[in-house]
Chain A
Amino acid sequence: MSFILLWLGVGVLGGVGAISRFLIDALVSLSGGGRFPSGTLVVNLSGALLLGLLVGIGLHGDAYLLAGTAVLGSYTTFSTWMLESHRLAEDGERSLFAANIVLSLVLGVGAAAIGRIIGGG
C-alpha cells in the first residue's frame, strides 16, 4: 500500500470513528436522560475493549494503524471525558464526578484486558 493511500485511509477511517462516536454517544446520552456522561463512558469502554481485541488477535502493520490509531483513536475521547468531569465538579456533583473518573479508569483497563483475552493474546 502506498504511503499516500495509507494516510488517506487514516483520514477517512478517522472520520468514520468520529461519526460513530457522535452517534453512539448521542443515542446513549438521550436514552439515559440523566446527568451522568454515560455516552462518553460507553464509547471509551467499547473502544478500549476493541483495541484490546485488535492487539489480542495480533493485528499489526498497516491494518493495525488503520483500525487502531485511525478508527478507535478518533472513536474514543479523552478530552470529552475530562471536560465532562470538570463540569460535574463545577455543578458540585461530587459522587457523579468521582464515579466518572473511577469507573472509566477501572472498567477501561478491565475492558482492554478482556479484549486481549477474547482475542487470544
Chain B
Amino acid sequence: MVEDGLKLTTYFGERDRAGGRLLADALVDVYERHGVKASALFRGIEGFGERQRLQTDRLLTLSEDLPIVALAVDDRARIEALLTEVREINRSGVTTLERARLLTGALGPAELPGDSGASKLTIYLGRQERAAGRPAYLAVVDLLRSHGVAGATVLLGVDGTAHGVRERGRFFAGNAQVPLMILSVGDDQRIVKVLPELSSMLSQPLLTLERVRICKRDGALLAELADPPGGELGGEACRLKLTVYAGEQARHEGQLLYSTLIRRLRREGAAGATALRGLWGYHGDHRPHGERFWSLRRHVPVVTVLMDTPANIRRWFAIVDEMTGETGLVTSEVVPALWNQSI
C-alpha cells in the first residue's frame, strides 16, 4: 500500500529536559501514545546546535550531552495530530516536517512512478529481525547494492515505536525489536525495481520514499543543490538539508572527514550539524563495511546532516564540496518546515 505520509524529525541534546523529565523519553512517550507506525531515537557521535556548543564522543568531557535525532513517520493525519504536542515539549531544539510516501505490505513495481531523478528509501526494521535466513539488515543492504542503489547506511536506534508499539533498548535485555533504520539513496528507476523484492523479503515491510537530489558521489559533482520550492512551501520556514554519507575513516587532507567538516561549519557560523555513526553500509562501488572484531580502527559508515536557509546552504555546500574531493555521497533535500525553539 502506498499513502501520503509525513516525517517529523527533532534535533536536540541528550540532556535536554521537558517538564521534569528527559525530552528523549517524553518524545517517544508521545509517539507511543499516538501509536506512531515508525519512530526512532538515534544518538549522535558529534555535533553542535544553535548554542554552538560542540559535543563529541571522542573527548570525555565534551560527550556529556551528545546530539539526539528523533524521527516519527506516519500518515498525514496522525503526524499532524501530534505536531503541536511535540513542538510544545521540544523547547530546546529544532523540529522539522518533511513529506514522505509511506509504503507498507506487498508492493508491485507499477505503484510508483519512476519520475524524477533520485529518491531516499528508508527501511524500518527491528534490531534482530531476520530475512532470507540472516540478519535482515545485511540481506537488505546486499539487495540494494545488487540493484545498483547509490548507497545505504544502517543506523541503530535506542528507543522508538514499530507498527505502533513501543520498543525500547535496555541494558539487560535481548532488544530484538529495538528500531533499526536503513537509509538508502538511489536513482528512481533502480529504487522502483528494488521495492517488490524488498517487500516480499520482509515479514512486515514498512518503508518511506522521499525526494532527494544526489549532488556528489565519490568526488564527482552530479547535480546542483535541490531548488527551494516556490509558493506556499517556499515560505519563511523552508530550509535545505545536506547529508554527507562517508566512512568513519574517510579523510580530507589527512583529517577525519566528518569531524573536520563539523568543526569547520561551527567555526564558520553554521546553524548546526549532527553526525550519526552507522552499523553497516556502503556507498558507490565500495563493498559493504562495518565493525570488525580484530581491527582497532572502526570501518563503520557515518552520516552527517546539516540544515540551513537556502542562501546559507550554498555557502556550506562549497565547504562540503571542497572536503569531499575523493569520497562520500552528498545529497540535498527540501525541508518544507523547520521550527527552532531554542531562539
Taken together as a complex, chains A and B put the C-alpha atoms of A26 and B298 apart, in Å, by 26
Is B61 a contact partner of A39 (Cβ separation < 8 A)? yes
B62 at the interface (CB under 8 A from A): yes
- Interface residue SS majority, chain B: loop
The number of residues on chain A lying at the interface, defined by a beta carbon within 8 Å of a beta carbon of chain B, is: 21
Is A25 a contact partner of B54 (Cβ separation < 8 A)? no
Residue from A26, A91, A92 in contact with B58 in the complex, judged by beta carbons closer than 8 Å: A91
Taken together as a complex, chains A and B put the C-alpha atoms of A3 and B296 apart, in Å, by 47
Is A35 a contact partner of B60 (Cβ separation < 8 A)? no
Q: Chain B residues near A84 (CB, 8 Å)?
A: 58-60
The contact string, 1 if C-beta is below 8 Å from chain B, for chain A 17-29, is 0000010011001
Q: Chain A residues near B297 (CB, 8 Å)?
A: 90-92
B263 at the interface (CB under 8 A from A): yes
Is A26 a contact partner of B259 (Cβ separation < 8 A)? no
Of chain A, the residue at the smallest CB distance from B297 is A92
Is B58 a contact partner of A33 (Cβ separation < 8 A)? no
Is B259 a contact partner of A83 (Cβ separation < 8 A)? no
Give the distance to chain A from B256, nearest Cβ to Cβ, in Å: 6
The contact string, 1 if C-beta is below 8 Å from chain B, for chain A 40-80, is 10000000000000000000000000000000000000001
Q: Chain B residues near A91 (CB, 8 Å)?
A: 58, 248-249, 256, 297
The contact string, 1 if C-beta is below 8 Å from chain A, for chain B 39-62, is 000000000000001100011111
Give the distance to chain B from A103, nearest Cβ to Cβ, in Å: 16
Is B61 a contact partner of A26 (Cβ separation < 8 A)? yes
A30 at the interface (CB under 8 A from B): yes
Is B256 a contact partner of A30 (Cβ separation < 8 A)? no
The contact string, 1 if C-beta is below 8 Å from chain A, for chain B 240-270, is 0000000011000001100100010011000
Give the distance to chain A from B112, nearest Cβ to Cβ, in Å: 41
Is B256 a contact partner of A40 (Cβ separation < 8 A)? no
Taken together as a complex, chains A and B put the C-alpha atoms of A89 and B228 apart, in Å, by 42
Is A30 a contact partner of B62 (Cβ separation < 8 A)? yes
Give the distance to chain A from B201, nearest Cβ to Cβ, in Å: 34
Is A92 a contact partner of B53 (Cβ separation < 8 A)? no
Is B263 a contact partner of A33 (Cβ separation < 8 A)? yes
Q: Chain A residues near B248 (CB, 8 Å)?
A: 91
Give the distance to chain B from A21, nearest Cβ to Cβ, in Å: 8
User: Could you give 17 example pairs across A and B, Cβ below 8 Å?
Assistant: A25-B60, A26-B62, A30-B54, A30-B62, A33-B54, A35-B58, A35-B255, A35-B259, A39-B61, A40-B59, A84-B58, A84-B60, A91-B58, A91-B248, A91-B249, A91-B256, A92-B249
Q: Please give 9 more A-B residue pairs, beta carbons under 8 A apart, in addition to A35-B256, A39-B61.
A: A33-B54, A35-B255, A37-B59, A40-B59, A40-B61, A87-B58, A90-B296, A91-B248, A91-B256
